[in-house]
Amino acid sequence: MVGESRNALADRLLGEALRVARHPLIRFHQGAAGRRQPLVTGTRQYVHQVVATLKAGDGDVDEAAAYLGLTIRQVRAALDYYADFQDEVDADAHAARRIEAAERDRWERQQRALA
């Protein structure tokens, strides 16, 4: 990240590498909130998005996989990661909702300005 010291960068990368070793279908991507967020490998689905879909479908892995166009293995990988890092994934989801609301508000203000 911008302004990150060499030691902080090394700590972050080591931490991510350890997580990837435990969760090989998860990678990290710079999210809209400025944090690196866990992403299902080979997709554009953040772990928090997969978890939200699972929760909306009462935990039905098959249904979530079909809805998101993922394999059952990918959905289970996101769920496994969530089980280990629930607080962080929930924080990612909260940040995404905040950003979405702010962007929706900005768009609505723009539309009113054009009216």
pLDDT tens string 8-32: 778 777 778 888 889 999 999 886 6
Reduced DSSP (H G I as helix, E B as strand, rest coil) percent helix, strand, coil of the chain, to 5: 65, 10, 25
Which of 27-53 are b and which e, b meaning 16 or more Cβ less than 10 Å from the residue's Cβ? Answer: bbeebeeeebbbbbeebebbbbbbbbb
pTM of the model: 0.81
The residue written with tokens 């059952």 in the block is 72
The residue written with tokens 């710079």 in the block is 30
